[in-house]
Structure formats: C-alpha cells, structure tokens
Amino acid sequence: MEIFLYVVIFIIGTFFGSFFTLAVYRIPKKEDILIKHSYCPNCNHKLGFFDLFPVFSYLFLGGKCRYCKNKIRPRYLILELLSGFTFLLVAISTKLSMYNFNSIIYTSALLIYISVLFIIAGIDKEKVTIQKEVILVGYTLEVLYIIYQCILGNSNVYQYVIYLIFLIILLILSNISLKMIAKEKYYIQILYLSLYIIIFCGSKNYICTTILTLINIFIYKVLSKHKNEKIPVGFYLCVNNILIIIISNILVNYII
C-alpha cells in the first residue's frame, strides 16, 4: 500500500514539475499561468490533452513537438523527473502514511512550500531576480497553514509576531529602496526569501541553509570564469533549503 502511495506522489511531482517549467517561463513575461492553454514555444500550436502528461509525452514523442517536429529541450524532462523525485524523497523523509491525517496535512503543506521554492529558484536561475508575486503567494499559503496549526493548538500565534515586525520593516525598506540601484534591490528580495524560509522551517534550518549557500557562492566565485557575473543567490538558498529539509526529516524520523 505504501508503495502505491509513493508512486502516486512521484507522478503528482512530475505534474507539478511540468507546471513549474511553465510558471518559470511565463511569470517573468507577466503571462497568465492558470487559464491560458499550454503551447509549443516554437510553433505556438496549442498542446493537446496527451501532450500535457509529463515525462511520458516527452518519451512517447521522442523529445519532439508533435506538430512542428522541433526538438524540445531535454531540460523539461529533467526538471519533471527532478520534481517527481523531490516529491518522493520528501514523502519518504516525513514517513508519509495514508492512515495518519496529520502526516498527510504536514507533508502536503511541505510540498506546497517546496513548490513555491522551485518556482523562485527557476526564475532566479534564469533572470537573477526573485519575483515578488511568487513570494507573496508563498506568504499567503504559509499564513493559512499557521492559522490552521494555531486553531489546532499546535502552535502559538505570538511566536510569529517577530516575523510580522520583520516583514513590515522589509516592506518599508523595499519602498524606500525604489530609488536604489537594481543590485541593492536584489538583497531585499533575498531578505524576503529568507523570511519565507524562516517562518516555515525555523531559524536552525535557515542557518544550515545559509552556511551551505555561502559555501556554494565561494565555490562559484573561485571556479567562475566570469567574475562579474551576478550570482543567483536565491536559487542556491532554495535548493539548499530543500536539501536540509529532507536531510533533517530523515535524521528525525529514521535515525535519532
């Protein structure tokens, strides 16, 4: 039974992966991500129902568009698989069980949290910017989960007051910074992302995430041939955060 559950989680993950690539492509262009039909970026042909199945449609069509036969970048396949495996790993790490309601709620909330990170990471990797709209959607979902936990009595509203103060400071800062140069604006975006991580994962997790990210940036600086290239710090924060979540869950649920 558990294996069946994990297969379902993997397939859901590949569907989300397909949505992430669409979101990463469309959000910076201010295009709609929910209503507008998917289309081939080369011939603009609308994709049919069966073209929308992640992984399978790619393999079945041999990595080509059904209509213009143009090659589809394998990036899509890789991202869909990666997303499927991440969902699977997260579910295994939380010991997701169909018979435990709390475990289903927690794992779902975690997967939604991670989905927002995926989209932020994707856009940051391409454009080196963190889209405010995505972060705001993330905050909203986070608040809903916190309210749910407070109603159940699992969590205390007052511990979040400090984050609220921090968020207000950030909002003020980002409005003052309108006149600032673009580079400094990116630091404020990173602070928004940091707050998003701290609220859901807590400060210990965030410290580990930051340490890993600093190591990444250091290696990037040493190895990169283009010293002046902007580093997608948000991308590293997101990826490292997901890694730390999986590792710490495995430690808590399997080893300690």
The Cα diameter of the chain in Å comes to 57
- Amino acid at position 11, single letter: I
What is d(CA 137, CA 48) in angstroms, rounded to the nearest whole number?
29
Residue ranges in 143-172 that form contacts with Zn ion under rule CB under 5 A: none
Choose, by CB under 5 A, the member of 31, 36, 42, 254 that binds Zn ion. 42
* Tokens encoding 120: 């932020």
Q: What are the C-alpha distances in Å from 126 to residues 76, 83, 233, 243? A: 14, 18, 12, 21
**Structure-token match 């009595």, residue found:** 153
Q: Which is nearer to Zn ion, 68 or 143 (CB)?
A: 68
SS3 readout for 180-239: CCHHHHHHHHHHHHHHHHHHHHCHHHHHHHHHHHHHHHHHHHHHCCCCCCCCCHHHHHHH
Q: Which is nearer to Zn ion, 41 or 202 (CB)?
A: 41
Q: Which stretch binds Zn ion (CB under 5 A): 62-70, 110-118, 207-215, 242-250?
A: 62-70
Residue ranges in 161-220 that form contacts with Zn ion under rule CB under 5 A: none
Residue ranges in 2-41 that form contacts with Zn ion under rule CB under 5 A: 40
Q: Which stretch binds Zn ion (CB under 5 A): 13-21, 60-68, 135-143, 200-208?
A: 60-68
Name the minimum Å distance from CB 64 to Zn ion.
8
Q: Contact 119/23 with Cβ under 8 angstroms?
A: yes
Is there binding between residue 48 and Zn ion (CB under 5 A)? no
Name the minimum Å distance from CB 60 to Zn ion.
15
Choose, by CB under 5 A, the member of 43, 157, 171, 180 that binds Zn ion. 43
Q: Which is nearer to Zn ion, 25 or 166 (CB)?
A: 25
- Name the strand (E) or helix (H) holding 52: none
Q: Contact 150/156 with Cβ under 8 angstroms?
A: yes
Q: Which stretch binds Zn ion (CB under 5 A): 61-69, 77-85, 90-98, 242-250?
A: 61-69
Name the minimum Å distance from CB 144 to Zn ion.
39
SS3 250: helix
Is there binding between residue 68 and Zn ion (CB under 5 A)? yes
What is d(CA 166, CA 199) in angstroms, rounded to the nearest whole number?
11
Q: Which is nearer to Zn ion, 68 or 211 (CB)?
A: 68
What is d(CA 201, CA 182) in angstroms, rounded to the nearest whole number?
29
Q: Which is nearer to Zn ion, 12 or 40 (CB)?
A: 40
Q: Which is nearer to Zn ion, 51 or 80 (CB)?
A: 51
Q: Which is nearer to Zn ion, 11 or 40 (CB)?
A: 40
Is there binding between residue 65 and Zn ion (CB under 5 A)? yes
Q: Which residues bind Zn ion (CB under 5 A)?
A: 40, 42-43, 65, 67-68
